[in-house]
Amino acid sequence: MSIVTNKELLERALEGHYAVASFNTNNLEYSQAIIQAAYELNAPVIIAAAKSEIDYMNGYAFVAMVRAIAGPLPIPVGIHLDHGPSYEEVVRCLRYGFTSVMYDGSSLPLSENIANTKKVVEAARACGVSVEGEIGVIGQASDGPEGPQIDSDMIGLADVDECERFVAETNVDAFAAAIGNAHGLYKRKPELRFDLLEQIRNKTNTPLVLHGGTGIPLEDIRKAITMGVAKINFSTVMRKGAIETLRNTLNDHPGELDYMKLLTPARNKMVEIAKEHIIMCMSDQKAWK
């Protein structure tokens, strides 16, 4: 297989009743681990990077690296901009060769978010690239001492009518709606609003994206998939596993100067974590030729 758009990945996921796992990366070892895990499980996968990660790696180098590793393998892989903060950042990633971009205008007034997203869709479609949008601010799990707090007035949650208008006016290929999920490590079990998710799915009929997948229980992941979630983002769990493993390796081998030997256990840990989450998404053995 080859590098593909998220539109193709997510449409097939909906048809097959699974979700595609999306993992953020910021270096060679992360990227190798994600692709190796997907290859061993014969699964489609999305490799994503946010602006800070792209700046760290260099966008052209990142896309070339992913294409070099994944291109010869018989699995479909998407290269995705995560939480693009501006139209300019999206255009930059189109030039790099990304196959999917996300514009995140969720903190803006709805009309401004829609206008900006429409502009992004126009530019991306001209390049054959799919677009993800977001509505309803998805918070950080570290916002409060006990994780994200969803008040009774539904502050921070997506509004169903706004979701319907957003999708209809922007024509995005997928979108993320805040339903009680958050980025980072949850201090308590997240309370996802499945009633809200069902309403959004019924009103939009568009592949949905669940951000903040780290720490969401298996049963909730699987339930969300049955309700139209076709892409689930994981980032913190990979970083945590890699850093903890690297710290232990450094402590156990304080005199080791072979950089590859120090990083290999961390990379192997990321392969293990990625495989676990691909299986959670039920996308193992779902690659197509």
Q: Give the Cβ contact number of residue 41 at 10 Å.
A: 20
Catalytic residue list: 82
Residue given tokens 């998407």 in the structure block: 78
Angstrom CA distances, 137 to 25, 37, 183, 193, stand at: 23, 31, 11, 14
Within 13 Å, how many C-alpha atoms sit on residue 243's CB side?
6
* d(C-alpha 96, C-alpha 203), whole Å: 34
- Select from 245, 142, 127 the least CA-distant residue to 185: 142
Specify which residues 24 forms β-bridges with. Answer: 48
Contact 3, 77 (CB under 8 A): yes
